[in-house]
Every structure is written in C-alpha cells, then in structure tokens.
Chains A and B, each alone.
Chain A
Amino acid sequence: MSRQAHGRLRAGAVGGMLLIAAAFFAVALWTGDEAQAVITGRVGDPLVYPSPIELLYSPNGTQLYVLCNESDELRVLDASTGAAIKSIQVGHIPRGISLSPDGSRLFVTNTWDDTLSVIDTASLQVVAEWPVGAEPSSVIEDRGGKHLFVANRISNDVAVLNARTGAEEKRLAAGRGASYITPSPDGSRLYVTHVYPNPTPHRTAPESEITVIDTARAVVVDRIPLHSIAHSFHLTFSRDGRLGVVAEMHPKNLVPLAHLEHGGAFVDTLTLFGTDVGDKPVEVPLDELERYAARPFGVLITPDKKFLYVTSEGSEIVTVVDVPRLLRYIHTHQGPFAEDLSASGNYVVTRIAVGHDPRGMALSPDGSKLLVANRLEDTISVIDTHTNRLASTVRLAAPKQMSVLRHGEQTFYTARYSFQGQIACANCHIDSTFDGLQWDLEPDGFGRDIVDNRPIEDLKGTEPYKWNGGNPNLPTECGPRTEKYFWRSEQYDDLTLSDLVTYIQSLPPRPNRYKLPGYELTPAQERGKALFVRAVDKFGAPIPLTNRCVYCHSGPKGTNQKSFDVGTKKATDNPGLLDTPQLTNIALSAPYLHDGSASSLEEIWTVFNPEDKHGRTNDLTKDELNDLIEYLRTR
C-alpha cells in the first residue's frame, strides 16, 4: 500500500470515525443521556424552565419546533439529532402553534399578551406580532392563505384575521373556553374544542361542543354537542377524515363526592365522531377499574389508522389505542360506554409512562417515532411506534435545579397522590384556573352545601378558604382536608405540601382585559364604581355600612376576608355564614354565588337579592346594574 493511499485511507477512516462519532452523538442526544441528569434539592429562587407544551415538525421534517410555555420561546431543534438550532422569543405564555399550509410561516399564540407571533420558517425570525382576542390559544391558517382563525379562550370565540395583514375581520361565537382548533384533513372545516363547559341550568350535567367552521366562508356551520363533557382539549382526525377524536374530561360533579373508586370524581374519555362512527358521536372511556388516564390532552392517529395515541397530563402516560379494535367495539356493543370502566380493556393496547404533565405530540415524518412534550419536566419522550415502548427521553436545556415553584407546580398537576391516581388539583383548576362547575362534597352532607369552584389566581391575602370560611390558610386547605376528602389516599409530605402552597400563592392574576391602558375607567365603569362605593341609595336613604358593596368587597382583591349572611343560602345549605369571595377577574368565572346558582353577575341582584341583603341594589335600574357590572369587570 502506498503512503499516499494509506494517507487517504487513514483520512477516510478518521472521517468515518468522525461521522460515526457524530452519529453516535446524535443518537446519544435522542437517547436521552441528558435526561438522566440528576435534579437535586429545591431552590427557593424562581427559575425559568422551558416547559415544552407543543411540538411540530418543520415541513421538510428536518427541524422540530418546541413551543416553550414558561420561557416564552420557540426552540428550533435539529429533528434528527435534537441539537439546538435557535431559540426564538415570542410573547408571554405561548400556548398554540401551527404552520401555514405552504410551510413558510409559523404562528404562535401568546395567551397573556393577546398577540400572535408570525415567524418566517426560512429565516426563523419573528416577522410580525399581531394583536388578537383574549387569551388566544390556538391558530390555523386556511388552505387558501386567506384567513387565520384564532381561538380565544376568554372571549369564547374564534377571531377571523386577514392572513396577510393580521387585521381582524370578524369573530365567530364558539363555546366557553375556546382553545384548540383542528382542520379537517381536506382543510374545508375547522373543529374547535373548549376547556370550560357551556352554561347549563343549575345542577344539570355540563355540556360542551365542537364548534365547526366552514373555512372558505368563515362561518359556524355546526355545533356538535358533547353531552356531560366539561373540558375538552386536542382533537385529531384520521388521515382519511373518517374518524375524529377529542380528548376530554367527564366529571361527576352532580354526585356526592363520597369516594374515588369506580370513577367517583371523573371519567377520562374520548369522543369519537365521523363517518367511521355513524350519525352520532360516541364517548368511550380511557380509564380502567383501578387505573385512570387523568386529564387526556393530546390525541394523534397514525397515518395508517392503526393506533391512536393520547397523552394524559395527570397520569403521566401515553395511552395507545388500537383503532380498528376501538371501532369494532363501538359497533358491536351497546352503548353508552362512558360509565363502563371495563370497556377500555377492549381497545387500549398499552400505557406508556412518560414525564411530568405530558401535553402535545408530534409524529416523525417517517412515522417511526412519536415525540411527547413533558411540560413540567422539560423533556421530550421518544416512543418507538413499532414497539409502542419508550425509546428514549431527551432533556431540553433547562435549569438543573428544581425550584420550589416547579416542584409545587408538578404536585399541582400530577394525579399520583389521589386514590388510584384519578385526580389532581388541576382536574378542577384547569390550567391553574377554575372549572365552571359546582360540586357536592361529602363532608357537608349528600346534596347539601353545593359549592361553586372558585378561581385560584391571586389568592394570597384572601384567606380564609372554602365558601364557609372553614379553612384558615392554604396549608389546611391543601393538606389534611384535601387528603381526607379529595385524594382519599396518602398524599405528599410536608415539604411537598409547602411547595404546593407556595406555587398556588404565586399564581398571579391573569391580565384584566376590561381595564383600559393606564387603568383609567370608562364612563360606564366610573358610574359603576360610584354605585359600588355609594353610601346613599337613589332615594336618598343612607345605606348601612355593612350593606354597601365596598364594605365586604374591600381591599385590593375585593374581599374583607370576613363572612356574612347575604341572603343567598338555600334550604339545602347548612347553617352558617358565607365567606366573601375575592373579585379578581370576576368577569371570567361565571356562574356566581356560593352554589353557582346565579348564571351571571346581573342575576346576583335581580334574582338572588330580593331583600337587599347582598348589598342595596333593588333601587337600581337595568342600566345602572350594567354600569356596576362594567366596573366589576375591571377588578
């Protein structure tokens, strides 16, 4: 062998080794060596974690977009190696991501900024930031590139924007908590799901809907009812468009919450619809007799329609459903199925343990890998779709230490502390908010003391807790009481309880969309404020101090933290006074009153305040009550 040839060979060998090394490095990245990094201790300082919530492959499949919910960024990774390519800063608390049909633009909805970030996929630069509705949660561009459709969670609608300019052309009324939009495979329809239930008569089962939009005409053409469903999340279609699937939660809030066994608090279900299903949607459970799939979130059907994957936030699993078996089951058995905890054994293939709070998923272009975003672990689980086993776990660049707040948040979202892993705090406080439901809790007596679920943002300084003011502080509320009457099982240790409480106390109020910039009040709000603080009624009669709105709803959070009889108790309520609720973002949390019997703020006074015990209001006209409401909306 000549020296030259040897040199070439050696160079080739070195090059080959480098390539092998590079390949090994790439594999090492996706096999999750970093995921093994030990997170030890807890630090008191708040740390910013990426918190991946949604995943998306680039059009050519070479890049992976990771939407990071807490660090307000879109991370772009090399899809084959997992190597970081770029971090793109977006707005505050991004939640939704989608690609334009031509693949040239990425859209990100920023929920606390009420903006839409437009990113050029070639340059990976934010090229526009457009204002949209309240708490935009997902976005889709139509096939023709004419319109963008944005689901606004708080304003309960879908904004239709000019896809080129971002100018809003109209709003389509959706259901309550409109959050996730999925196009049909042919793009002709959009399907919108909702995280909060639509209003229903007091003490009746929750209802939700799939709002169906004709994409070309930008009009709502159908509302598919989701009976008994309170919270629905992602929706997916089979590639042939014949099967649609929604991930959802089916609460048992009308039944006394005496125990958790046998799906006592929730059943975690899917609603199936489409040609494969038949005329009516069919609801099927994911839960088993002793194991739950708490809070289904993401759904994805493989292109060959063989498997359906479902992430369950609280159970920290991906459930694998055999689609042909599922369809065969619903066509050969008599429904309804939702209450049969032995049904899932007929179509669930396996449950794959993943990380904390698994959310969005993405299937690799060749279909061999399913990626799962574990929001509260900063990892991506890689599932081999041939074996349906976890292949690796990739840790995103993130703080190596566990902060108190992160640990508290993990505790809030995991269902591992409840009996058989059925529920977590986040079951009733959807995304750390509320659920719009009323519950019949066991210790107060069956059918007695029905309680509306209050929001938990900005809680610090509003104690005591519970509508009867029975819990003096959060450690009591979240500690022994929760263990005994909610989890019905041994829960966290004291340190974890402390972290949980710290997390809950840290939850800030969401931006108030009714406040003007600079916190000035509109004329109507000013008039309402005058009514709120007034000491004399319209007839000149003094209003006793304790019967003025501002007396009980005083202070920065609208509560003097005392309990009163405001004349709203029912025959089924136990004796005692009612805690004064805080007014933070009160406009968002209908229904109202301790038992949720007032469907609107106005009903508090027009229906449930006949004797002016709940403040002097019976002298007010409809317009004046509207002014009062306008003011309350700014709180």
Chain B
Amino acid sequence: MRGRASAFGIAISFALLLAPCGLASDAAARIGADVIVTAAPVYVPLAELRGQERFPKGAQLLLLHADHAEPLVPGFAASADANVYFDGRLVLFAGKQLASDPWQIWELKLKDRSVRKVVVTATDAERPLYLPAGRMVYAVRTTHGFRLDSTDDGHPLPYTPLNPTAGPGELALSYTQANAFPADILKDGRVLFEAGFPLGSGTTPELYLVYADGSGVESYRCDHGQARWGGVQLSSGDVAFTHGVSLARFTSPLAHEERIAAPAAQYAGEIAETASGDWLLSTRASASGPYVLKLWKPGTAAMETVLAKNGESLVEPVLVAPRTTPKRHPSGLHPWDYANLLALDARLSRDGALHGTPVAVRVETQDAAHHAVVMGTAPVEKDGSFFVQVPGDTPIRFALLDAKGAVLRQEHGWFWSRGGEQRICVGCHTGPERAADNRVPAVLLRTTTPADMTHAAQRALTGGR
C-alpha cells in the first residue's frame, strides 16, 4: 500500500514538473514523430554493468508530443527503457508498478494506453527489445549478473516462419557469468549487446553480437580499448555509440571505430535517428549535470535543445514511428546438448605472432564459483587447426600450449556455443575483418570427429565424480 502511494506521488510530481513543458516547435517539426524518453532525477551511466541501479531515485517514461510532454504510464512507480514495435503502435518497457517491485517487462498499446506484463520474473528484468517474428529480448538479473533472455512477445504471428529463431517460450541468450544488456537489434537480425570486456571477466564496457537463438556470440569489432556503450544501428548500417565524452561509430568498411565529429559534451548514447537523418541525443555539459535532450544534424557544429528538465536527466530517446523490421534469424541449431568448434588456424591473431609452435589447445570452463576449470586438451595440427566438441550453453575459453605444455596464448575472456551449434573460428582473436583461407583444415583431413571435451567437462565440474 505504501508502495502504491509512493508511486502515485512520483507520478504526480512528474506531472507537475512537466505541465509547462513542451518541445520547441521547430525541433518537433524536424523530428517528425512523437518521442518517448526516460526521465530520471538521477541517472548513473553504466551502473547496470556493475549490477547496480541506473535510476536509483526512479524514472518515468515521457511521451513528447509536438507541444507538450506527458507521462506515458502514469500509474507506474517507475518506467524506463522504451522500445517501439516495428509498426509504431506498441511499446515495450521496463516498469515497476510499485516502487518495491522488481523491474519487469511490460507492453503498452499506444492507442488506448493499456498495458500488460509480458514477462514475469522474480528479479529485475530490463532493457527489452522487440525481435522479429514474435520474439523479444531483455536482460534479467540472476545470481551471476544480468543475463540476456528471449521469449515470445505475446503476439501470434499471422504466418508460420519457415524456420523459427527460437522458442516457443523463454530462452537464455548469454551463458557467461557477467552482466549483459541488449542494446539494439541489427538489420541482419543479430542482437547487439553490451557487456564488460573481456567478456565474462572484464569491466570495460564493450559491444558484442549474438544471434537471436544465442549462437554466434562475438565482439562486434576487435578494436578493443576504450569503453563503448549505448550502441544503436543507424539507417546507414553504421553502429553509433558513446565513449561518454565523445561519439564514435563502427562502419561496414572498417575494422576499427571512426570518431564522430560532434560538439563537445557528455553523451549518454542510444541515439534516435529521425526520418530526415537528424539525431536525438542525450547530452550534458558536465558529469554533475543532468542529461538534456538535443537534436543534432550530423556534420554541423551546434545542437538544438529539444527538452531539458531542471534536475532531471532525459535519456533513452526513441521515436514513435514505424520502422523496418530486422530480418528473422532462422535457427540452424541441431538438437544436441553439445557444440562443435573448428579453429582454422589458431596461430592467427591480431595480437601478433606466437612465440612458439602450438601443439595443443587447452579448453576451459567455469565452475559455479567462477573458477576456471580445465576440460581437457586437444591436438593442434601443424596448420594451426583444431576441432573440439564442448558442452553447449557453457562458458568456454582456449589456451594454446607448446610441446612443453607452456601457454603460448590464453584467451582472457569467455564465450559460449549453444547446444547444437557448429561454429568456425578463423583464428584466435583475428577480428571479424578476417575471412577464412580457402583450404581444408588439416584436422579434418585427419579426422572428422571432434575431440570430445564434454565428458571431461562433466568430470571437471563434478570434482572427478
């Protein structure tokens, strides 16, 4: 009861704050659509990647019309993370009906403002995104941090896809013991997500990709170093993101990021691109100030303030407009609980030449206490190829060993393969820019049966029992 009253109080306070507010009319014309934005008295960027609350003093979704702004879901104690459906009529969001509730995933029908809970979880569920073909993805808090999960979006499809992406029902998409949050769905259907680098062990925010069935996880680029977050794909196909104090993008031709020449400011990330190519951005002048909503025409020197709220940050802008539906990923997973991984030439790496000849690969997983556990070793052929069978849906990493068993190169992060996945790596950290040489890997000339790590993994994880 106290929670409900509290929620009402917050809603009232927002309404009072917003009453005289609206968008500048010329900005509204340039935007050409309604906007939903998350307003919060306190916004702590990247807090969720540390497992903390981004909006420690609550947050509320605002719907910005041409001449006014209003709470989108006034009956909620908190709401954030809006994602508009492809037809522009529905909105997924993370919300708390009561302040004491965990964040849950809701859907709002814009026509009548009716809401329904899409996913019921015992813990926080945040950052929902619509996937094509009746699925959605979000982050759910587990004992190991926020995990990417997907489920049906609750809207029956008018057709049966030739090959579904996943489902029916819930499916975890990430399998490392680290916080991961969906950032965007790319046009090719992959989920762009944020997690620390190295994946599963590091804390530098980085962008990753995974197919909507949890397979094919990889870094978006291997141009690691600076913290990146707030990534979204633009109509050009570029993925724009923030470093906090600057903007940058990944483009299709380049393996490394490209700086975006934007006015000096702190950027929250998560750009909303208008139909005319302008960008809606959340910026602030200093680390202590609130984020305001600005409109910027890329390439120009100045930004126009669209909306500012005294003492509140306005973040996560999204346009209320139809948009192109990304492509559905037709899952090709086999009905197995293991995965087969083929490395074509483990000697290849962006990290430079190996100081020795690898003769074996050590395959490791993690136990419940996050300790690395050796599953076993498999031979590395003279051409650098190896072929292993590993348990699916499990953290994995490799270490290359020389003839004396010394580690020549060790993966710092973790990745996973879905059960039933068969995947090829060109090398060890070669980057997505490196295509495979066209040759039969020596390991497949010797055997087409992968070295089985699944039993060793079982033994290792159960202490040899």
Does B237 interact with chain A (Cβ within 8 Å)?
yes
Does A79 interact with chain B (Cβ within 8 Å)?
no
Does A129 interact with chain B (Cβ within 8 Å)?
no
Q: Is the interface of B mostly helix, strand, loop or mixed?
A: loop
Point out the residues of chain A lying under 8 angstroms from B216, CB to CB. 259, 261
Residues 177-195 of chain B: 1 if any A CB is under 8 Å from the residue's CB, otherwise 0? 0000000000011000000
Task: Tell me the complex Cα distance, A206–B440, Å.
Answer: 12
For chain A, residues 256 to 283, give those with C-beta under 8 angstroms from any C-beta of chain B. Answer: 256, 258-259, 261-264, 267
Task: Tell me the complex Cα distance, A287–B223, Å.
Answer: 19
Point out the residues of chain A lying under 8 angstroms from B329, CB to CB. 488-490
What's the least CB distance linking B313 to chain A, in Å?
Answer: 33
Give the nearest-CB partner of B421 in chain A.
A258
What's the least CB distance linking B74 to chain A, in Å?
Answer: 38
Binds B, one of A247-255, A400-408, A595-603: A247-255
Binds A, one of B54-62, B75-83, B374-382, B431-439: B431-439
Binds B, one of A18-26, A341-349, A617-625: A341-349
Does A419 interact with chain B (Cβ within 8 Å)?
yes
Does A483 interact with chain B (Cβ within 8 Å)?
yes
In the bound complex, do residue B330 and residue A483 qualify as a contact, i.e. CB atoms below 8 Å apart?
yes
Task: Tell me the complex Cα distance, A424–B180, Å.
Answer: 35
Task: Tell me the complex Cα distance, A482–B439, Å.
Answer: 24
In the bound complex, do residue B423 and residue A489 qualify as a contact, i.e. CB atoms below 8 Å apart?
no
Task: Tell me the complex Cα distance, A442–B423, Å.
Answer: 9
In the bound complex, do residue A485 and residue B435 qualify as a contact, i.e. CB atoms below 8 Å apart?
no
In the bound complex, do residue A256 and residue B422 qualify as a contact, i.e. CB atoms below 8 Å apart?
yes
In the bound complex, do residue B332 and residue A348 qualify as a contact, i.e. CB atoms below 8 Å apart?
no
Does B147 interact with chain A (Cβ within 8 Å)?
no
What's the least CB distance linking B2 to chain A, in Å?
Answer: 49
For chain B, residues 308 to 361, give those with C-beta under 8 angstroms from any C-beta of chain A. Answer: 327-332, 334, 340, 342, 344
For chain A, residues 475 to 524, give those with C-beta under 8 angstroms from any C-beta of chain B. Answer: 479-480, 483-485, 487-491
For chain B, residues 253 to 304, give those with C-beta under 8 angstroms from any C-beta of chain A. Answer: 253-256
Contact of B330 among A253, A348, A489 (CB under 8 A): A489
Known: A255-B436, A341-B434, A446-B422. A289 touches B252 (CB 8 A): yes
In the bound complex, do residue B163 and residue A341 qualify as a contact, i.e. CB atoms below 8 Å apart?
no
Does B1 interact with chain A (Cβ within 8 Å)?
no
Point out the residues of chain A lying under 8 angstroms from B448, CB to CB. 445-448, 572
For chain B, residues 216 to 272, give those with C-beta under 8 angstroms from any C-beta of chain A. Answer: 216, 237, 251-256
Does B426 interact with chain A (Cβ within 8 Å)?
yes
Give the nearest-CB partner of A442 in chain B.
B422
For chain A, residues 221 to 269, give those with C-beta under 8 angstroms from any C-beta of chain B. Answer: 228, 250-256, 258-259, 261-264, 267
Point out the residues of chain A lying under 8 angstroms from B422, CB to CB. 256, 258, 442, 446
Known: A256-B342, A488-B330, A489-B330. A483 touches B434 (CB 8 A): no
In the bound complex, do residue A263 and residue B436 qualify as a contact, i.e. CB atoms below 8 Å apart?
yes
Task: Tell me the complex Cα distance, A483–B254, Å.
Answer: 28
In the bound complex, do residue A255 and residue B433 qualify as a contact, i.e. CB atoms below 8 Å apart?
no
Does A315 interact with chain B (Cβ within 8 Å)?
no
Point out the residues of chain B lying under 8 angstroms from A411, CB to CB. none
What's the least CB distance linking A392 to chain B, in Å?
Answer: 24
Task: Tell me the complex Cα distance, A488–B432, Å.
Answer: 17
In the bound complex, do residue A490 and residue B387 qualify as a contact, i.e. CB atoms below 8 Å apart?
no
In the bound complex, do residue B163 and residue A420 qualify as a contact, i.e. CB atoms below 8 Å apart?
no
Point out the residues of chain B lying under 8 angstroms from A419, CB to CB. 188
For chain B, residues 435 to 452, give those with C-beta under 8 angstroms from any C-beta of chain A. Answer: 435-441, 444-445, 448, 450
Contact of B327 among A445, A446, A490 (CB under 8 A): A490
Does B132 interact with chain A (Cβ within 8 Å)?
yes
Task: Point out which of B254, B340, B445, B448 has the most chain A C-beta atoms below 10 A from its C-beta.
Answer: B448
Point out the residues of chain B lying under 8 angstroms from A341, CB to CB. 255, 432-435
What's the least CB distance linking A262 to chain B, in Å?
Answer: 5
In the bound complex, do residue B332 and residue A290 qualify as a contact, i.e. CB atoms below 8 Å apart?
no
Does B44 interact with chain A (Cβ within 8 Å)?
no
Task: Tell me the complex Cα distance, A267–B188, Å.
Answer: 19
In the bound complex, do residue A258 and residue B423 qualify as a contact, i.e. CB atoms below 8 Å apart?
yes
Does B162 interact with chain A (Cβ within 8 Å)?
yes
Task: Tell me the complex Cα distance, A344–B253, Å.
Answer: 7
Task: Tell me the complex Cα distance, A331–B271, Å.
Answer: 40
In the bound complex, do residue B434 and residue A262 qualify as a contact, i.e. CB atoms below 8 Å apart?
yes
In the bound complex, do residue A262 and residue B163 qualify as a contact, i.e. CB atoms below 8 Å apart?
no
Give the nearest-CB partner of A253 in chain B.
B438
In the bound complex, do residue A489 and residue B188 qualify as a contact, i.e. CB atoms below 8 Å apart?
yes
What's the least CB distance linking B159 to chain A, in Å?
Answer: 8
What's the least CB distance linking B441 to chain A, in Å?
Answer: 7
Point out the residues of chain A lying under 8 angstroms from B330, CB to CB. 480, 483-484, 487-491
Point out the residues of chain A lying under 8 angstroms from B188, CB to CB. 290, 419-420, 489
Task: Tell me the complex Cα distance, A443–B434, Å.
Answer: 24
Give the nearest-CB partner of A205 in chain B.
B438
Known: A289-B255, A446-B340, A489-B327. A262 touches B436 (CB 8 A): yes
Does A78 interact with chain B (Cβ within 8 Å)?
no
Task: Tell me the complex Cα distance, A454–B206, Å.
Answer: 45
In the bound complex, do residue B332 and residue A442 qualify as a contact, i.e. CB atoms below 8 Å apart?
yes
Task: Point out which of A290, A489, A490 has the most chain B C-beta atoms below 10 A from its C-beta.
Answer: A490
Does B424 interact with chain A (Cβ within 8 Å)?
yes
What's the least CB distance linking B4 to chain A, in Å?
Answer: 44
Point out the residues of chain A lying under 8 angstroms from B426, CB to CB. 262
What are some 30 contacts across the A-B interface (CB < 8 A)?
A205-B438, A228-B438, A252-B435, A252-B438, A254-B438, A254-B440, A255-B438, A255-B441, A256-B422, A258-B422, A262-B426, A262-B435, A289-B252, A290-B237, A340-B435, A341-B255, A342-B253, A344-B253, A420-B188, A440-B444, A443-B332, A443-B334, A447-B448, A480-B163, A489-B188, A489-B327, A489-B329, A489-B330, A490-B132, A490-B329
Ranked 9 nearest A-B pairs via Cβ: A345-B253, A263-B435, A447-B444, A447-B448, A490-B328, A342-B255, A342-B433, A490-B327, A288-B252
Chain B contacts to A: CB under 8 angstroms: 132-133, 161-163, 188-189, 216, 237, 251-256, 327-332, 334, 340, 342, 344, 387, 422-424, 426, 432-441, 444-445, 448, 450
Given contacts A251-B438, A446-B444, A448-B448, 7 further A-B contacts (CB under 8 A): A256-B422, A258-B423, A261-B216, A290-B252, A342-B253, A483-B163, A489-B330
